[in-house]
Each structure stands twice: as C-alpha cells, then as structure tokens.
Amino acid sequence: MSLLDVTGLTIRYGDNTVVDGVDIYVERGESVGLVGESGSGKSQSALAILGLLPKQARVSGSIEFDGQQILGADEDSLNALRARRIGIVFQDPMQALNPYLRVGAQLKQILLSHGLAEKADADARVIGMLAKVGLPDPERQFRAYPYQLSGGMRQRVMIASALIAEPDLLIADEPTTALDVTVQAQILELLEELRDETALLLITHDLGVIAGHCEHTIVFERGRVVDAGPTTSLFASPGHDHTRTLLAAAPRVDRGEAPEPVTGSTLLSVGNATVSFKDLTAVSGVSFAVRRGETVAVVGESGSGKSSLVRAMLGLVPMTAGRVVYAGEELMGAVEDRELSKRRDLQLVFQDPASALNPQMRVQAIVEEPLLVHERRATAAERRSRVVAVLEKVGLKEKYLRRFPHELSGGQAQRVAIARALILEPKVLICDEAVAALDGSVREQVLDLLREVQKETGLSIIFISHDLAVVRSISHRVLVMYMGQLVELAENAKLFGSPRHPYTRALLDSVPVPDPVIAPKRAPLRGEVGSLVNPPSGCVFHPRCPIAEAICSNKAPTLVDRAGTRVACHMATAI
C-alpha cells in the first residue's frame, strides 16, 4: 500500500477545470517529482492533498494517506495530519508566514500544538532547526519578523517549519526557488538524509533538482499528467513532446556558449557604494559599471547585499557613501526626489511579485499604472493596446487583463511584474530574481524576450540571480558578492571557465545539472554565512574557505587584476 495514493483527482472552479483526472503515488521513503509549466495544476494538486483549496473549489476523485481517505475529511482530522504527519513548504513564504508573529514564535507553535516539545525546550529546538536549514545567525532570526528577512531567508524559515515535526510526507512546492545555490545544495542534502523515514513530493521547475533527487517524475501539462516514470528513463527517453520541450529549455551551468562581450560606452556606474542599516553594513565599498546594451549579473548568497546594492542605486534605500552616475549625471537622494525622466529610464522587477503587485488591482490596471504617471496624454484605448501587447510579449493572453494577483500562479504573477517594468521601454532594467519563479519553457521565453529587447533597443540589464545556469546564458559580465563585498568581477567566459575566487568555485559546484546520470555533488560549502553585525576579521569568507591560510584571517584582501579578472583573494593564484 502506498503512503500517498491519489487517483482521478479533478479540481474545478465553476466551469474551469484546472486539474483533470490526475494520479499520484508516493511510497514510503520515496521521492517523487512533479514538473510542469505555471498553471499546469501542480500546486493545486498539492493543496488538495491537505484540504487547503478555497471553498469555491469542487474536488472529486480519491486521496488516501496511509490507507485513510482524507478527501472530504473534517478539519479536526486534517489538522491532526497537517505539519505533524504531512509537512508542506509553500511556494510563496511571504504569504504563508504570519507577518504579525516573530519567526521563532511561529515554529514553536507547531511543536507545542502537536505536543512535540515542552515550553522550556522549544526555543532550543527551533534555533537548532533554523541553523540546520542554513540561516545565518539563527538566534537573531529567531527574534525577527518575516518582513525583516530576505526572500531566500524566508523560504528557509518555511522549510524549517515543514521539517521541525519530522513528518512522514513532505510536500515541497518550489522549496529551493528563492534560495541561493549553496544553501539549495545543503537543503537538498538535508532532504536526502530524511529519505529513510520521510517521503518527498517535490514540485519544482528546476529539472536539475528533479534529476538529482527524485526517483520518479510526473509531468503536468494543462491540468493533466502527460508523462510519468522513473526519472532516469524519462530523461533519457521522454514519452511526450511537452517533456522534450521542458528538457530542451533547461539551462546548464556545465556547458553553453557565453554571450559576446559588449564594448559600448558606460551608461551607469556605481562608485564605492556603502549601505548601512543601524548596527550592520549590508554593502561595503562596491564599484561597478554597466555599458549600453550590456547585461551585468550580480550573484551571491542570500543576504550578500545584492538587493540592497541596487535599491540604494535606485534611491529606494539611503546610500551611506558612494555615488551613482547615469548618462553622465549623478543620481542623488531618494527616488521620489529624482527627475521623472530618470525614474522612467531605470525600472525594477522585484523579487517577490506577491508583495509587489497591488492585491486590489486587476492585471490591466497594474500594468497600465506606469503609463498614467509617465504618459498622461495617452488615451484609454492606447493604454489598453500597449498593455495587451506587452503581456503577449511575456506570454500572457488578453484573458488575464481582468484577473487579480491572487488568481495567478507564481510564474504568471512574475510575468505581470516584468510586463509592468517593460511597458515604459526603460534604458536600464534591474531584474531582482525576475525569473526565479518561472518554469523552464516560460523562463526561456522571458530570457529570449530580454535578449530581443536588448538587441533592438540597447537595453542595459542588471540581473540579480541565484541561478548560475541562467546567469551563464544571459550575462556578459558577472559580479560576485559575499557579505556585502565584491569578491570577483569577470567576463562570462572567464568566470565560468576559470573562476579565481574559492567562493565563486563553490557557487558553480553547487548548481544541479539536469541529467540524472550525473550524480549531484556534495554541498561544497559548510557552515553559515557570518553575521554582518560582527563580521569575521580579515577576509570575510575565510571561516568557510577550503583553502584559507593564516593571512586570510588577519588581512582583508583588495581587488586586484588576475588575467582580466578582478578578484579579492590572497589565494587567487592557487586556484
């Protein structure tokens, strides 16, 4: 008897069928992956298992857990299973976590409500779990509210909440989407360690994760299962065109041609940028430039200062020191104090679309809003036409105009956010994890769109991402940050072919490859990122560095040129 036995699952909203006759089987200790495009029914199927669909959903079929029929069960029966026997990691941690409770209180609630710990022991259990999932300074995060954490940190809190009760089945809905690759590798290793006792139903758009960690794979398309089987066999010989399309769209960090370097004039430069928040320095003396028509990627672990750097550049948070120059003019002060034309030219796609999109506005109004500010003479018909055109560019049809953000999947919401940024035809587009929530084929569509717009208009792009396989395919140069400092800056081909900093090498070794024949590498980095409140002496990376020597803990390295690569490492010549 399977631990989880889902047969003929059908979910309807009015006349709209979103899941149609789906079968899912998970044995004890088994890992099963669900893969498919945004809106294909993966998350809806997962929510149905725990009875978490909205009241207007009409669900039919059968869902048995450990021999017990749970489809249609009452709340008391489901609450006995939720968190205790079936844990779930939701796709959007900002919506799933209670904004009014501190992180520690939310995890303690799980332990205490199920009688898994005494009050006196609960704090230590929670702090230990936060450390286990890779949160830096877990005692500090224990006291934090969700809004005080970066997107990746919030997702790690979600994973900790799902694992803390040691459930029989873990449903993980895009559990590593918002995580940097080093922590992703640690989390996936952690999930593997639990495999003897905990079965895993893994929903992800990352075929590298599926290839390395799932014994069976189920492929969804438009609410139906179109392909299924052992992962190795399915990757080697897919049985459906949609599976072949997904595999073809999967980027690989271990191969691929780098874009040709751009040699145009500098459009935007940042000099010695420093960003401080009360008792910590989030960005420390970072300098870089972006040329016209160039894509500069910014990579690094969650909390490394990537988002703080670009937000200070845009005037969304104060820059403690340094300067920003755009088109020969210095940008100063908060964004609301800058010229309207400068604000139009620099557009940002936020990391979390659920927070960035107004929940009370429909898609048409959200995408149209920048035109009301910057092009007041445009007629309603002209605005609507441009909204429809830009939505089509990002792969959304006209039928989405009347929808609210909560009626969109995570990937669809992100595409709306991208459309809103592109509708003004900016000169510089800052993408803060803009494709992280997108499945493979849609992600490739959006990346192709960015390349096309860049080729046609000379758009410059600052591309913040934890997905180094995507970074390899789109960036001309790559900037690597660690604990607020710039540790390496190089052209694409040099960085991916011959990284000079041990941290960069660790990032590359952490990326999963979409090939089940290639065994996943053991997480190359151990330990935690140091605390920005009390950073390590010398090189900030030395406590985790596999090749550190005495000088590394005593003296901070400076950026030097090594064969065309700017690197801050005493041991750069040894790599």
pLDDT of residue 196: 67
Question: Among all chains, which residue has been given the structure tokens 């755009």?
Answer: 326
Average pLDDT over residues 38-64: 93
pLDDT of residue 194: 63
DSSP 299-362: E--TTSSHHHHHHHHHTSS--SEEEEEETTEEE-S-GGGS-HHHHHHEEEE-S-HHHHS-TTS-
pLDDT of residue 26: 96
pLDDT of residue 405: 93
Residue 494 has pLDDT above 80, yes or no: yes
Indicate the angle between helix axes 380-393 and 410-422, nearest 10 degrees. 130
Question: Among all chains, which residue has been given the structure tokens 């792009």?
Answer: 461
Question: Pick from 468, 448, 429: which is nearest to 268 by CA?
Answer: 429
Q: CB within 8 A of 233, min separation 6: which ones?
A: none
Q: Tokens standing for 525?
A: 């980095």
pLDDT tens for each residue of 243-285: 999 998 888 898 888 888 898 899 999 999 999 998 899 999 9
Strand partners, 281: 276
Most confident segment among 6-15, 85-94, 201-210, 346-355: 6-15
Map residue 289 onto helix, strand or coil.
strand
Distance CA(229)–CA(225), nearest Å, equals 11
Q: Tokens standing for 389?
A: 């055109």
Please state the pTM of the whole predicted model.
0.79
The mean pLDDT of the chain is: 91
Average pLDDT over residues 47-69: 95
22: confidence class by pLDDT, cuts 50, 70, 90: very high
Q: What is the CA radius of gyration of the chain?
A: 24
Q: Tokens standing for 365?
A: 């109004």
Backbone angles phi, psi at 17, to 5 degrees: -95, 115
Is 535 within 8 Å of 138 (Cβ atoms)? Answer: no
pLDDT tens for each residue of 415-447: 899 899 999 999 999 999 888 767 677 778 788
Residue 191 has pLDDT above 90, yes or no: no
Lowest mean pLDDT among 89-103, 117-131, 328-342, 524-538: 524-538
pLDDT of residue 7: 97
pLDDT tens for each residue of 385-422: 999 999 998 889 999 999 999 998 777 888 899 899 99
Element (H, E) at 271: strand 266-277
Question: Pick from 473, 469, 470, 468: which is nearest to 488 by CA?
Answer: 468
381: confidence class by pLDDT, cuts 50, 70, 90: very high
Q: Tokens standing for 276?
A: 């401080």
Average pLDDT over residues 178-186: 76
Alpha-carbon separation of residue 116 from 111, 163, 164, 322, 363 (angstroms): 5, 13, 9, 51, 44
Is 37 within 8 Å of 446 (Cβ atoms)? Answer: no
pLDDT of residue 258: 83
Between CA 268 and CA 271, with CA 270 as vertex, the angle to 5 degrees is 140
DSSP 41-86: SHHHHHHHHTT-S-TT-EEEEEEEETTEE-TT--HHHHHHHBTTTE
Between 132 and 102, the more confident residue is 102
Distance CA(111)–CA(450), nearest Å, equals 46
pLDDT of residue 367: 97
Average pLDDT over residues 282-299: 96
Map residue 264 onto helix, strand or coil.
coil
Longest dimension (CA), the chain: 69
